[in-house]
A = this chain, B = another copy of it.
Amino acid sequence: MMFSEIAEQEGVDENKLKKRVERGSVVLLRNSGRDIQPLAIGEGMRVKVNANIGYSPDYVDVKKELMKAEVAVEYGADTLMDLSMGVDLDGMRKKIIEHSTVPVGTVPIYQAFIEKKTEMSKEDILKMIEKNCRDGVDFVTLHCGITLDLVDKLNERLIPVTSRGGSFMAAWMIKNKQENPLYEFFDEVLEVVNEYDVVISLGDAMRPACLRDSSDELQLKELFNLGRLTKKAREANTPVIIEGPGHIPLDEIEYNVKLEKKICDNSPFYVLGPLVTDTALGYDHIAGAIGGALAAMHGADFLCYVTPSEHMGLPGIEDVKQGVIASRIAAHAADIVRLGTKEVDDEMSKARGELDWKTMFRLGVDEDIGERYPELLDKEGCSMCGKYCALKIVREYIRS
């Protein structure tokens, strides 16, 4: 029953969907304890968009984060990740799960590290993952792929680590001179999440933080580790998503997607951006939309939004809106070529040809836009060309 609804929503054959879920090329996000519609991500599905929310240690404001969550979903986010850091993380997590009709993800290691720093034990980590699952999160990012041999080479990079969870695991491994427990005891992690049907998003601790470090040995060695873990997860029937870069030049995007699909046996690919330049400070949502569209065209399945405030601070509410819309444009542009879903584009173009502003405003990526151009509703044409509108001239001369 669940499959038929999802298949219909995604416009795919139910049996195909089932097979892909069995194979692991599609995952369904929903904690067994949650009463939401499961979300399908992966092969042949619409490209999905995630919005990160959550406060920081310096600005704890639960209400504002819940507003951001609402705005994100309103403008088209398919999932939310609560990346809160600071006090009362249990309370925040419960609130966001309670308020959300879309799947929610978390990074349990944040809280584990805040509570015990490098003193945290394997048991502390497993308990924290379990607590998140019990609270109802639908997917968890776990930085399982960073191993001791990688940590030894961090100094080779211009920016060693930008992944927050990755830096926590690296710090732990350096301090304790021990292998990453999430890697070493991955079987135990699988047991925990399986009890709740929680999907693991295998984090990319080694995602490049700048173009200089893109597609380097550290990034790809971690990807091979994630490939090994994917195999184990498949054997335990745990669905996984693979997280990916990061900062990647335009011409490396296609092979990065193909490598992920090859090494991780067609697991869904979840990319952050990718950002195609390091210089778009204040405009990283645009650099990310460029990279995200290209990645999704080549097979990435899940885009983590990037907001205009990326690299500078916690996003404000308007940043969240801008970030979601930019990612939605990228995701839709890719869906057009992956799935041929351009019905809305055709409707929009028909309305455009008829200078039907009301319909155009309704169909656009941001329904608020009409409020910024109220004068158009009473007009035939627009202020760009006035009476010399190409569309009007066409009507006058060509269609007559």
Residues of A within 8 A of B (CB): 56-59, 85-86, 110, 113-114, 118, 151, 154-155, 158-164, 166-168, 170-171, 174-175, 209-212, 247, 249-251, 276-283, 285-287, 289-290, 293-294, 297, 311-314, 325-326, 329-330, 332-334, 336-337, 342, 344-346, 348-350, 352-353, 360-361, 363-366, 369, 372-373, 376, 382-391, 393-394, 396-399
B350 engages A158 (CB within 8 Å): yes
A333 engages B366 (CB within 8 Å): no
Chain B contacts of A171 at CB under 8 A?
A: 393, 396-398
B397 engages A174 (CB within 8 Å): yes
A312 engages B382 (CB within 8 Å): yes
A162 engages B345 (CB within 8 Å): no
B333 engages A277 (CB within 8 Å): yes
A187 → chain B closest CB, angstroms: 27
Consensus secondary structure, chain A interface:
helix
Chain B contacts of A393 at CB under 8 A?
A: 161, 167-168, 170-171
Chain B contacts of A352 at CB under 8 A?
A: 159, 209-210, 278, 311
Q: How far is the CA of A350 from the CA of B279 in the complex (A)?
A: 11
A387 engages B329 (CB within 8 Å): no
Question: Which one, B166, B364, B373, contacts A279 given CB within 8 A?
Answer: B364
Q: How far is the CA of A293 from the CA of B297 in the complex (A)?
A: 14
Question: Which one, B161, B250, B382, contacts A398 given CB within 8 A?
Answer: B161
A87 → chain B closest CB, angstroms: 12
A391 engages B162 (CB within 8 Å): yes
CB contact under 8 A between A279 and B398, given known A56-B384, A346-B210, A390-B164: no
B398 engages A282 (CB within 8 Å): no
A313 engages B384 (CB within 8 Å): yes
Question: Which one, B85, B118, B151, B372, contacts A386 given CB within 8 A?
Answer: B85
A282 engages B364 (CB within 8 Å): yes
A114 engages B388 (CB within 8 Å): yes
CB contact under 8 A between A397 and B162, given known A57-B386, A294-B294: no
B364 engages A326 (CB within 8 Å): no
| 16 further contact pairs, Cβ within 8 A, besides A211-B349, A283-B326 | A56-B385, A56-B386, A58-B383, A160-B394, A167-B390, A170-B397, A210-B348, A211-B342, A247-B349, A277-B336, A279-B329, A282-B372, A283-B329, A283-B366, A287-B333, A290-B294
